[in-house]
């Protein structure tokens, strides 16, 4: 008999995992509150970059279906929660989606079910917030219902690592909860690592992303004074990266974006301040530096135009690649937004090119709605300055350098030439 799995949340985390479980023989229901998304999924139309329509249709033929009815939870052997946890106004995670999922589980869950929270949050959430809503006053965690936390590690656009070959960390409220979670994931994930408990698993996720946040801030700070000192920081990084131990290469850019790096460390900072009363200074400094990175890019744009005796007010500036990372259509927290907002404030005539984004409503800039240029070469020739923000694989960097009068390369990937300057 097939094991039954319900995955709550069918976004970039929940959908790939649901399809992988279906591939390994689970009877899977992808539960989502968005009726349009559910209808599209059941029609074989994917809404995320990492799942093709072909993969989705294979899943539909092999045991996957999408639904909006929470009553399906009552038939599940395992329930996994993959709902978003955006930042709230006070800097902590907005747990309302997690709480809603937990209440729905509590209303329908049957004894013996394994329930796993994957949504990123601060340490203690699984035990203090999620579990009470699931078990209520009747069920006992670790006896009637088995509850664990397992941080999502999806990297959108990563063609090398996916659900199967990315090691999975699990931490249970009790040892038995942890063992059951490990056994569940081991059925479709190559490597499963069992943490001491749920808090340790929650902390592991925040540690991973705080590590990246801080080190990106380090090089984003260094690129500023390296430019002033006439040092090619990218060359220095490549040299440092030849050391086979004790060093990991991070590279500067126009800022951080996406669902994790600019958001997750704030959960930990908020928790430390709220519960212990003091600041997590490393995270706060990293956030300050990385948030300022797009404004530094705007300053470099002003300098590049000024060197050619062109005023930024009225200058034609073309932004190339406005998603938060290369080769995906995800624009969450993209540094292109604050950069565009600042350039418009300075009076620049802004345009953009991105093969993944046909239209762009710039966050924070009321009324600024743009359409992607159709011909990159023509747009580059028409611009006073081209700014490379994301080097999508579909963008011919050599042609871009040739067609542009001046390019500001914020990623350090353009071929060298008279028209190209690095951040």
For the chain, how are helix, strand and coil distributed in percent, rounded to 5? 40, 15, 45
- 393 lies in the same domain as 347: yes
- 186 lies in the same domain as 264: no
Annotated catalytic residue, options 82, 177, 239, 260: 260
- 137 lies in the same domain as 269: no
Nearest to 10 by CA among 187, 22, 157, 2: 22
Per-residue pLDDT, 267: 82
- 255 lies in the same domain as 343: yes
Q: Mark whether 239 is an active-site residue.
A: no
Q: What angle do CA 273, 278, 284 make, to 5 degrees?
A: 75
Per-residue pLDDT, 93: 83
CATH number of domain containing 417: 3.40.50.720
| pTM recorded for the entire structure | 0.91
Residue 211 clears pLDDT 80, i.e. is over it: yes
Please report whether residue 300 resides in a domain: yes
Residue 78 clears pLDDT 80, i.e. is over it: yes
Evaluated on CA atoms 172, 176, 181, 182, the torsion sign reads positive
The last residue of a domain, from among 143, 168, 196 = 196
In DSSP terms, 385 is beta-bridged to 317
Please report whether residue 216 resides in a domain: no
Please report whether residue 222 resides in a domain: no
Per-residue pLDDT, 86: 85
- 239 lies in the same domain as 192: no
Contacts of 199 by beta carbon, 8 Å cutoff, 6+ apart: 123, 124, 126, 127, 171
Token duo for residue 245: 């131990």
- 179 lies in the same domain as 294: no
Please report whether residue 100 resides in a domain: yes
- 32 lies in the same domain as 164: yes
Instruction: Lowest mean pLDDT of 19-23, 129-133, 364-368, name the range.
Output: 364-368
Per-residue pLDDT, 398: 93
Please report whether residue 32 resides in a domain: yes
Range of the domain at 396: 233-422
- 14 lies in the same domain as 67: yes
Per-residue pLDDT, 63: 93
- 238 lies in the same domain as 172: no
Q: Is 173 helix (H, G, I), strand (E, B) or coil?
A: coil
- 378 lies in the same domain as 309: yes
| Sequence-ordered strand ranges (E) for 176-328 | 192-194, 316-320
Please report whether residue 228 resides in a domain: no
In DSSP notation, 109-149 reads: --TT-EEEE-S---TTHIIIIIHHHHHTTT--BTTTBEEEE
Separation between Cα atoms, residue 78 and residue 112, nearest integer Å: 9
Per-residue pLDDT, 184: 97
The last residue of a domain, from among 173, 196, 219 = 196
Nearest to 19 by CA among 28, 8, 9, 6: 28
Separation between Cα atoms, residue 48 and residue 235, nearest integer Å: 36
Question: For 237-275, how does the pLDDT look when each residue is reduced to its tens digit (9 = 90+)?
Answer: 999 999 999 999 999 999 998 877 778 788 888 888 888
Mean pLDDT over each residue of the chain, to the nearest integer:
94
Instruction: Lowest mean pLDDT of 4-8, 29-33, 366-370, 371-375, name the range.
Output: 366-370
Per-residue pLDDT, 276: 87
- 182 lies in the same domain as 269: no
- 260 lies in the same domain as 381: yes
Please report whether residue 212 resides in a domain: no
Per-residue pLDDT, 381: 96
Domain count, the chain: 2
Average pLDDT over residues 228-241: 96
Average pLDDT over residues 305-326: 96
Question: For 98-147, how does the pLDDT look when each residue is reduced to its tens digit (9 = 90+)?
Answer: 999 999 999 999 999 999 999 999 999 999 999 999 999 989 999 999 99
Q: Is 155 helix (H, G, I), strand (E, B) or coil?
A: coil
Axis-axis angle for helices 264-276, 281-307 (nearest 10): 140
Please report whether residue 215 resides in a domain: no
Average pLDDT over residues 78-106: 91
Residue 91 clears pLDDT 80, i.e. is over it: no
Average pLDDT over residues 165-188: 97
């Amino acid at each position: 008999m097939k094991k039954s799995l319900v995955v709550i949340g069918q976004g970039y985390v929940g959908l790939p995992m649901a399809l992988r479980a279906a591939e390994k023989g689970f009877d899977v229901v992808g539960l989502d509150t968005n009726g349009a998304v559910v209808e599209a999924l059941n029609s074989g139309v994917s809404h995320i970059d990492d799942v093709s329509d072909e993969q989705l249709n294979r899943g539909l033929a092999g045991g996957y279906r999408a639904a909006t009815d929470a009553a399906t939870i009552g038939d599940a052997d395992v329930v996994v929660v993959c709902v978003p946890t955006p930042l709230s106004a006070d800097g902590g995670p907005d747990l309302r989606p997690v709480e809603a999922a937990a209440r729905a589980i509590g209303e329908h869950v049957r004894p013996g079910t394994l329930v796993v929270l994957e949504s990123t949050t601060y340490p203690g959430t699984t035990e203090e917030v999620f579990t009470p809503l699931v078990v209520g006053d009747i069920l006992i965690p670790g006896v009637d219902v088995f509850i664990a936390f397992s941080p999502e590690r999806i990297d959108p656009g990563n063609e090398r690592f996916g659900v199967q070959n990315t090691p999975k960390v699990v931490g249970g409220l009790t040892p038995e909860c942890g063992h059951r979670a490990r056994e569940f994931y081991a059925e479709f994930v190559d490597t499963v690592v069992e943490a001491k408990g749920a808090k340790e698993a929650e902390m592991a996720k925040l540690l991973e992303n705080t590590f990246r946040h801080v080190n990106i801030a380090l090089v984003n700070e260094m690129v500023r004074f390296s430019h002033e000192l006439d040092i090619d920081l990218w060359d220095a990084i490549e040299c440092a990266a030849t050391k086979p131990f004790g060093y990991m290469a991070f590279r500067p850019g126009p800022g951080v974006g996406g669902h994790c790096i600019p958001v997750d460390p704030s959960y930990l900072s908020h928790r430390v301040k709220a519960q212990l009363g003091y600041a997590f200074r490393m995270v706060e400094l990293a956030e300050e530096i990385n948030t300022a990175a797009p404004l530094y890019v705007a300053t470099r744009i002003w300098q590049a135009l000024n060197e050619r005796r062109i005023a930024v007010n009225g200058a034609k500036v073309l932004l190339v690649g406005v998603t938060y990372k290369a080769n995906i259509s995800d624009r969450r927290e993209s540094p292109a937004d604050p950069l565009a907002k600042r350039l418009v404030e300075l009076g620049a005539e802004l345009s953009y090119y991105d093969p993944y984004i046909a239209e762009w409503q710039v966050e924070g800039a009321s009324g600024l709605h743009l359409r992607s240029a159709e011909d990159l070469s023509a747009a580059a020739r028409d611009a006073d300055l081209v700014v490379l923000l994301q080097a999508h694989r579909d963008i011919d960097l050599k042609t871009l350098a040739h067609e542009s009068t001046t390019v500001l390369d914020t990623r350090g990937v353009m071929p060298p030439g008279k028209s190209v300057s690095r951040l």
